[in-house]
Structure 1
């Protein structure tokens, strides 16, 4: 008897049944987004994508093991990593979702996302081992061919001064772990992770502090009201200036406009059609409007705390659209320096990570 019949999907998949299984069981694994990018920072290559795993059967299934094999362009095995159920504290438990009820889909963030700079990644082959309530085991293989992202428009940093990268888009970041299949999010029409490569930037004073007093008021933050600059030349395609700096937004408006999340916000389309987005801006601080032609390093607004914001900071991201199916894109800045105590050095990759303290002139 067949246990699982795999539905075709975007990349490549095979299935192996190791024990007799239930015929009505089906698993579909889809790579999200379709084009998988390699981002490169100072120390590593990062492959940031998701698996949409759908159990179309009526059976409950459990993920027991997930393994990745890395190959070069000659199909030579370079390395292999895995999560499994071995030991007293199994590594598979690092995945927060590993049980699928019948007719359920869940998003799995790629847990094997970081590789050494010298690794010539060509193909990533993932092997999934699922079991059902009868301990019937099924293997599914998915294959991904990631592409190195080549930025076509040079970007400058959108702020000046000393900056804390409060949150970037590493595996633990909330930008990275945006589950667009979560029912409340899905109900607004959002279909992808537009903030996949986003940043939250906070200005610091000379003592590397974010705020004075207790940080209870917007004005306590050293970055509140700081100037925001355009990262490259382009045309303004979205500008919202009406939200108060009260950390609130109307969530229902996301159905019509996903940028409502960011309160006061600017979107600039660049000559390669990529779009830079600047969010949580100060009420009435925008100096540009839709249709304006913008030049690199132009002052466009000030940092605020409008929209879904806990405290004054700049949310910045690159993406390919401003619609509900927008996908995030990497960003490399040509003018950033990493502060390490009393020393600083240029980040030649242009890619910052969570926790970095930067100096921008």
Structure 2
């Protein structure tokens, strides 16, 4: 009898411990409404989990599972990361340890989903025993305005917004970034475009000088009709910017830039432009699709001359990125060409406007 009573106390005590631990772990995700981005017949999800340990106990994420369901709530697929083996897959997530009270941002590690997915159920397991479920319901993204590419040249998508891209992995929970006022990922769906010559080269010589790069001084075009809502053209092409200024000027990262409004909460942003290259444009000016608006430069946070392009829902610190789909271009595949579909282009693609 005493053995049974002790067993009940032990189990009951464990239940209380797990319940208390669950109550002290807060999991939310951003943006509030994740989008299904179209990528060649399937969809991609680009959002983040913010996980807060509100207790003084240490936590470690030991397993993460996702289940995908269709509109009839039927299971489509399941995937997981765990701590099994000598090189556990859970270790592909950078921050899985919470020492006492702390917060980590976790980039959704399962970006590719079947296009029929209507709901995702994530199961987080901490310390091998604490399970917390989180349901995510994404929405389809339909672009209201047709975009052309912002460059006529043969271009390399040097860095897009795939799972490994630095645009995708912007940690706005990182203290220095958070202190500047950023609360989301404004470049969540951004691109870095680099101009190539006919042989597929990016630059002459060793590329140390801006003028070595084939793209430096190349025309930048408006992707659609719109109105200029922000512009800066006074920064030098010296690959530098004032980090503290981001607290008051969230676009300072891009050196010289132009932002065009295309509709309610839809802004295209063109960054790292050449000093004084906007040909007299100003805030309030209307521009047409395909109109030359500036030249590629190397201003702001730029390692070399290229065009940073993104679509976002505002120009403040709370901005979140939006997908962008382009029309009228070819995908260059060595000596062959393939007509581009109106879907996302991705890191490594070589493309050219028709």
Contact 1:153–1:272, Cα closer than 8 Å, also in 2:
no
Per-residue Cα deviation, 1:36-67 (whole angstroms, up to 9, x for no partner): 10001224310110000000000010001000
Q: CA RMSD in A?
A: 1.4
Offset of 1:181 from its aligned partner? Answer: 0.7
The 1:18/1:149 distance shift into structure 2, 3 A limit, reads farther
Matched, 1:325 2:321: no
Residue of structure 2 in register with 1:11 after alignment: none
Q: Secondary structure at the match of 1:21?
A: helix
Greater shift after overlay, 88-97 or 41-50? Answer: 41-50
Offset of 1:19 from its aligned partner? Answer: 4.9
Residue of structure 2 in register with 1:98 after alignment: 96
Contact 1:155–1:331, Cα closer than 8 Å, also in 2:
yes
Q: Distance in 2 between matches of 1:227 and 1:18?
A: 66
Q: Distance in 2 between matches of 1:295 and 1:271?
A: 14
- For residue 37 of structure 1, the aligned residue among 35, 45, 49 is 35
Q: Secondary structure at the match of 1:28?
A: strand
Residue of structure 2 in register with 1:357 after alignment: 350
- For residue 76 of structure 1, the aligned residue among 74, 80, 83 is 74
Unmatched runs of 5 consecutive residues or more in structure 1: 1-16
Residue of structure 2 in register with 1:157 after alignment: 149
Offset of 1:18 from its aligned partner? Answer: 6.9
Q: Secondary structure at the match of 1:270?
A: strand
Contact 2:265–2:312, Cα closer than 8 Å, also in 1:
no
Equivalent residues in 2 for 1:135-284 (5 A)? 137-284=129-276
Offset of 1:143 from its aligned partner? Answer: 0.2
Offset of 1:115 from its aligned partner? Answer: 2.3
Q: Distance in 2 between matches of 1:138 and 1:348?
A: 44
Offset of 1:272 from its aligned partner? Answer: 3.9
Contact 1:152–1:272, Cα closer than 8 Å, also in 2:
no
Per-residue Cα deviation, 1:133-179 (whole angstroms, up to 9, x for no partner): xx7x2100000000010000111110011000000000000000000
Q: Looking at secondary structure, tell me which structure has more helix per residue.
A: 2
Per-residue Cα deviation, 1:273-301 (whole angstroms, up to 9, x for no partner): 30000000000101221110111111000
Greater shift after overlay, 347-356 or 67-76? Answer: 347-356
- Count of aligned residue pairs for this structure pair: 339
Offset of 1:347 from its aligned partner? Answer: 1.6
Per-residue Cα deviation, 1:173-193 (whole angstroms, up to 9, x for no partner): 000000011001011101100
Contact 1:163–1:360, Cα closer than 8 Å, also in 2:
no
Q: Secondary structure at the match of 2:246?
A: helix
Matched, 1:316 2:312: no
Q: Distance in 1 between matches of 2:315 and 2:14?
A: 46
Matched, 1:305 2:298: yes
The 1:211/1:59 distance shift into structure 2, 3 A limit, reads same
Residue of structure 1 in register with 2:10 after alignment: none
- For residue 125 of structure 1, the aligned residue among 107, 116, 121 is 121
Greater shift after overlay, 17-26 or 122-131? Answer: 17-26
Unmatched runs of 5 consecutive residues or more in structure 2: 1-12
- For residue 111 of structure 2, the aligned residue among 95, 110, 113 is 113
Offset of 1:246 from its aligned partner? Answer: 0.1
Query: Larger C-alpha radius of gyration, 1 or 2?
Result: 2
